[in-house]
Structure 1
Amino acid sequence: MSSRGTSPPESGDDGSAADPQPLVCDRCGTSAGTLADDGPPLTWTHSVENGARRYFCETCSRENLRSIEGRLDSDWW
Structure 2
Amino acid sequence: MTSLPGGSDDTGSPAEPQPLVCARCRARAEGPQLTWTYSVEDGAGRYFCEACSRENLRAIEGRLDSGWW
- TM-score, normalization: structure 1? 0.59
Does residue 1:45 correspond to 2:37, yes or no?
Answer: yes
Q: Which has the larger radius of gyration?
A: 1
Deviation for aligned residue 1:26:
0.6
- Correspondence list, 1:1-16, <5 A: 14=11
Q: Cα RMSD between the aligned structures? A: 2.2
The percentage of counterpart residues that share the same residue type is: 73
Alpha-carbon contact 2:18-2:30 (below 8 Å) kept: no
For 1:71 and 1:26, how far apart are their aligned partners in 2?
17
Whether 1:57 aligns to 2:49 is yes
Q: For residues 33 and 18 of structure 1, do their structure 2 counterparts lie closer, same or farther at Cα, with a shift above 3 Å needed?
A: closer
TM-score computed with the length of structure 2 as normaliser: 0.65
Gaps of 5+ in 2: 1-9, 65-69
